[in-house]
Amino acid sequence: MVPTAAQQTIRFTLNGKPVEARILPHHNLVEMLQDFGLFGARESCGQGLCGCCTVLVNGNAVSGCLYLAAFIDGADVVTVEHLASAGTLSPVQEAFLETGAFQCGFCTPGFVLMVHQLLDRNPEPTEEDIRHYLSGNLCRCASYREIIQAVRSAAEKRKSCATG
């Protein structure tokens, strides 16, 4: 069946809750999230290069600026807003605050989500692993040194949480 260019309805899980959205086929994921009042994923380069628009879709990080909203139908979507939804910051967020891993903060949501992904897959990354994994995230304030420190510190925090 071919839907028309008019609005279409999609259903998906957004930050743990089932939701429905009316979207236009040419809208991207960042635009759609804004309709839900979620502004953590923001479009900056618009080309997949900077990571400011990072969103987790079915457990994988994607660039929301290059992802059609229509593709979200049936998916599980997590944005940066979900990390502290229980009222406490995640260990990664705490580590970013404590190390001062930002200046203006524009790139921070993207970095924080990518670091969550990195540590889920590789709980004890080397500096080389960290640099490689985050090579698709740009920080125009150049907080890179502090960001790498924050990843190390977040890895430590998560380890101590895990072992009680």
Ligand X SMILES: Cc1cc2nc3c(=O)[nH]c(=O)nc-3n(C[C@H](O)[C@H](O)[C@H](O)COP(=O)(O)OP(=O)(O)OC[C@H]3O[C@@H](n4cnc5c(N)ncnc54)[C@H](O)[C@@H]3O)c2cc1C
Residues 6+ apart with CB under 8 A from 112: 80, 83, 90, 92, 93, 96
Least distance from ligand X to the Cβ atom of residue 47, Å = 6
Stretch that binds ligand FES, among 9-17, 71-79, 84-92, 97-105 (CB under 6 A): 97-105
CA distances in angstroms from 113 to 6, 40, 98, listed in the order given: 33, 10, 17
Q: Does 117 bind ligand FES (CB under 6 A)?
A: no
Which of 15, 37, 156 lies closest to 94 in space, CA to CA? 156
Instruction: Using CB atoms within 10 Å of the CB of residue 108, give its burial: 0 to 12 exposed, 13 to 18 middle, 19+ buried.
Output: buried
**With CB under 6 A, what is the number of residues at the site for ligand FES?**
22
Q: Does 72 bind another protein (CB under 8 A)?
A: no
> What 3-state DSSP class applies to 67?
coil
Q: Does 13 bind ligand FES (CB under 6 A)?
A: no
**Six token digits for residue 92:** 């990664």
For residue 72, the 8-state DSSP code is: G
- Cα 63 to Cα 55: distance, rounded to the nearest angstrom: 7
Stretch that binds ligand X, among 42-50, 109-117, 124-132, 150-158 (CB under 6 A): 42-50
Stretch that binds ligand FES, among 13-21, 40-48, 71-79, 80-88 (CB under 6 A): 40-48
Among 7, 47, 88, 160, binds ligand X (CB under 6 A): 47
> What phi and psi values does residue 121 have, to the nearest 5 degrees?
-90, -30
52 touches 43 (CB < 8 A): yes
Closer residue to another protein in complex, CB, 45/104 = 45
Binding site for another protein (CB under 8 A): 1-5, 24-26, 28, 46-49, 51, 54, 60-63, 65-68, 70-71, 114, 117, 132-133, 135-137
Binding site for ligand X (CB under 6 A): 47-49, 66
Binding site for ligand FES (CB under 6 A): 43-46, 48-53, 63, 65, 102-107, 139-141, 143
